[in-house]
Structure 1
Amino acid sequence: MATVEYQQASRIYDPSRAPAVNRVSLTVADGEFLVLVGPSGSGKSTAMRMLAGLEPIDEGSVLIDDVDVSELRARDRDVAMVFQSYALYPNMSARQNMAFALQNAKMPKKEIDEQVQRAAAMLELESLLDKKPSQMSGGQRQRVAMGRSIVRNPKVFCMDEPLSNLDAKLRVSTRAQIGELQRELGVTTVYVTHDQTEAMTMGDRVAVLREGVLQQVDEPTHLYEHPGNTFVAGFIGSPAMTLIDGATVTSDGSARLGPRHALDLELPRDDVAKTDDRVIVGVRPESWEIVGTGSAAAGSDTVPLQVRLVERLGGEAFLHCRTLETDAMTAAVRGGQLVMRLDQGFKDLEADMTIHVRPTPGSCVFFHPDSEINLEYL
């Protein structure tokens, strides 16, 4: 077990372009499960490969247990990798794949057998030890790849999107198994994924990257409820948070969606009214409430929407809606559409219906109109 620290670490492929990883500073505690998440090209895999020694560090440094490993070879860092592609030797059995690194390290055969058997028991692989990868399912091969890392007893695990090749049902069961296994072993783990659901359900903390820049690091629930900026707000959560641009700040410290629109939203800070006349309002899908349907329900304290699609998922439903033009509302929903999540009472809602909604009290998040940073952090 070990601590990991990135100190202003950068990876620069082309000096004429922005760094792939740009001055990232991040500390991973001993035994912590940290998830790096972001869209494609955000630098999350590169950052992890810098830790593992598979990518050079052009600026700054990476430390393991307070020792700078920036110039050490990958084999000397005591870091174990689990890849997206499994990377198993096809001509070897599961037992041989798991034992290979230990044999190269000249470990006694008895110790190798004990380590392999221990890892196989953890991963429920005992019946597969003599089978080759071609005789296994994708989930079984991924468990063998994990077993190959476990037998080494490394200081740090690095996992690069290990579930992306699995089907949806297997991904759910395997991510639960990885989380349980990591807690049992207590090994510091850096896990890379583009799937924010994986990030939210697996990580002790989640680090969000965008274009090589670290946006926010926090516990999953706090990240969801208090996103640092509009990018994090839109990326974390499925469906994404609705962002409303151009809400007017009033003298009493509230935000209004239009000059004659009485849907007042209480701002978290009284001094905002003194410095800015606009804010961006963020509303989560579950934070909308339906006030009424049809034109008769129109009122100045609601937002009118047209339902475009109703996705019924049994115990809940998603309403995909577009905003309707009204002279009472000068603020604009970003993208012109929003998604609502309803737990019940949605059976009578159909496409093309007009509904009138408002955010539930105290549920909104507010962002600065220029920097798009959450007002809580300013």
Structure 2
Amino acid sequence: MATVEFRQASRIYDPTRPPAVNRINLNITDGEFLVLVGPSGCGKSTTLRMLAGLEPVDEGQILIDGEDVTETRPRDRDVAMVFQSYALYPNMTARQNMAFALENAKMVKATINERVEFAAKMLELEDLLDSKPSAMSGGQRQRVAMGRAIVREPKVFLMDEPLSNLDAKLRVSTRSQILALQRKLGTTTVYVTHDQTEAMTMGDRVCVLKNGILQQVDTPGTLYKNPGNTFVATFIGSPAMTLIENVRIQSSRAVILHDALEQDLKMPPSQMEKVHTDKVIIGVRPENFNVVSVNEKPSEFALPLRVDIVEHLGAEAYAYCTPLFPEESDLVVRGGRVIVRLNRGVKADSGDTLWINMDEDGVVFFDPETEINLDYL
């Protein structure tokens, strides 16, 4: 087990273009399961490869257990990496694949056998130790790749999208196995994925990247409830948070107006003090919209939405809607779509009109200029 620290670490492929990884500062505690997440091309795999020593660090430093490993060879960093493509030797059995690195290190045969048997039992691979990769399923191959990392007993596990080649059902079961395994071993783990659901269910903390720049590092719950900026707000969560621009601030209140009626969004005074314009961006999760009525205009404040699609997910249903704001309204819904979770008992179909308001406790306020959550300014 070990701590990991990135200090202003950058990877620059082309000096004429922005860095692939741009001055990342990140501290990973001993035994932590940290997930790097972001869209394709954001720099998450490059960050992992920098830690592994497979990519150079052009600026800054990387430390493992307080020791600067920026110029250290990959083999001397005491880290083990699990790749997306499994990277198993096809002519070797599972046992031979798992033992290969230990044999190269001239380890005693009895110790090698002990470690391989231990890893195989933990990963439920005992019946496959004498099988070659061609005779295994994708999930079994991935477990062999993990076993090869486990037998090395490294300071840090590095996992680069290890589940992306598996089908949906196997991906769910395998991620729970990985998490249980990490909890049992207590090894510091850095895990890369583009799947934000995977990130939220696995990580002790989640690090969100965009264009090589670290956006926010926090617990999954904080990222969901109190995202640091509008990018994190819309990237984390499925379905995504709805962003509404040009919400007015008047008389020291943030209000939404419609048909001479209004809803006070109960913006905290501490955030109100940080706003330097008369408008603000708000973010609302699907579960924080309240359906006031369907197809019948209410007498109380409510905003009208046209239902485009209703997505049924077993116990839950989500309505994907287009706002029906009047032309004179300043309100702009980013992306042009509002997503509302339909509570039990609410019936709505495509073409219906939903009338909604917001649960004030679930509204997040963003600065209109920087798009940073006002709670963090």
Please confirm whether the aligned pair reaches a TM-score higher than 0.5, indicating the same fold.
yes
Distance 2:258 2:17 in 1: 42
Measured against aligned partners, the alpha-carbon deviations of 1:74-103 in whole angstroms (never above 9, x if no partner) come to 001001000000000000000000000000
Q: Which runs of 5+ in 2 are unaligned?
A: none
Distance 1:255 1:7 in 2: 42
Partner of 2:17: 17
**SS in structure 1 of the partner of residue 322 of structure 2:** strand
Q: CA deviation at 1:251?
A: 1.5
Partner of 2:45: 45
Partner of 1:137: 137
Partner of 2:60: 60
- Letter matched to residue 123 of structure 2: L
Q: CA deviation at 1:275?
A: 2.6
Q: CA deviation at 1:303?
A: 1.1
Distance 2:259 2:77 in 1: 61
Q: CA deviation at 1:314?
A: 1.9
- Letter matched to residue 62 of structure 1: I
Measured against aligned partners, the alpha-carbon deviations of 1:185-213 in whole angstroms (never above 9, x if no partner) come to 00000000000001000000000000000
Q: CA deviation at 1:184?
A: 0.4
Q: CA deviation at 1:259?
A: 8.7
Q: State how 1:188-227 maps to structure 2 within 5 Å.
A: 188-227=188-227
The answer to whether residue 236 in structure 2 is matched with residue 240 in structure 1 is no
Distance 2:190 2:246 in 1: 39
The answer to whether residue 295 in structure 2 is matched with residue 269 in structure 1 is no
Q: State how 1:353-372 maps to structure 2 within 5 Å.
A: 353-372=352-371
Q: CA deviation at 1:239?
A: 0.5
What is the RMSD of the two structures over their aligned residues, measured on CA atoms? 1.4
Q: CA deviation at 1:254?
A: 2.5
**SS in structure 2 of the partner of residue 55 of structure 1:** coil
Judged with a 3 Å threshold, the aligned counterparts in structure 2 of structure 1 residues 271 and 199 are, in CA distance, closer, same or farther, namely closer
Q: CA deviation at 1:271?
A: 6.0
Contact preservation (8 Å) 1:62, 1:69 = yes
Q: CA deviation at 1:253?
A: 2.6
Measured against aligned partners, the alpha-carbon deviations of 1:142-192 in whole angstroms (never above 9, x if no partner) come to 000000000000000000000000000000000000000001000000000
Alignment length (residue pairs): 376
Measured against aligned partners, the alpha-carbon deviations of 1:292-345 in whole angstroms (never above 9, x if no partner) come to 122x41556111000011111221111111111325742111111111122412
Q: State how 1:153-164 maps to structure 2 within 5 Å.
A: 153-164=153-164
Q: State how 1:1-378 maps to structure 2 within 5 Å.
A: 1-257=1-257, 260-270=260-270, 272=272, 275-294=276-295, 296-299=296-299, 301-326=301-326, 329-346=329-346, 348-378=347-377
Q: CA deviation at 1:276?
A: 2.1
Alignment identity in percent?
Answer: 63
**SS in structure 2 of the partner of residue 88 of structure 1:** coil
Contact preservation (8 Å) 2:255, 2:262 = no
Judged with a 3 Å threshold, the aligned counterparts in structure 2 of structure 1 residues 376 and 257 are, in CA distance, closer, same or farther, namely farther
Distance 2:292 2:259 in 1: 21
Distance 1:82 1:257 in 2: 53
- Letter matched to residue 363 of structure 2: C
Contact preservation (8 Å) 1:250, 1:256 = no
Measured against aligned partners, the alpha-carbon deviations of 1:258-283 in whole angstroms (never above 9, x if no partner) come to 69340221112356267321100100
Judged with a 3 Å threshold, the aligned counterparts in structure 2 of structure 1 residues 349 and 259 are, in CA distance, closer, same or farther, namely closer
Deviates more, 1:23-32 or 1:261-270: 261-270
Distance 2:183 2:234 in 1: 30
Contact preservation (8 Å) 1:255, 1:279 = no
Distance 1:333 1:220 in 2: 25
**SS in structure 1 of the partner of residue 268 of structure 2:** coil
Q: Which runs of 5+ in 1 are unaligned?
A: none
**SS in structure 1 of the partner of residue 265 of structure 2:** strand
Measured against aligned partners, the alpha-carbon deviations of 1:30-84 in whole angstroms (never above 9, x if no partner) come to 0000000000010000001000000000000000001000001100100100000
- Letter matched to residue 360 of structure 1: D
**SS in structure 1 of the partner of residue 232 of structure 2:** helix
Contact preservation (8 Å) 2:271, 2:375 = no
Contact preservation (8 Å) 1:259, 1:329 = no
Contact preservation (8 Å) 2:206, 2:219 = yes
Contact preservation (8 Å) 2:309, 2:320 = yes
Distance 2:370 2:188 in 1: 34
Distance 1:257 1:373 in 2: 24
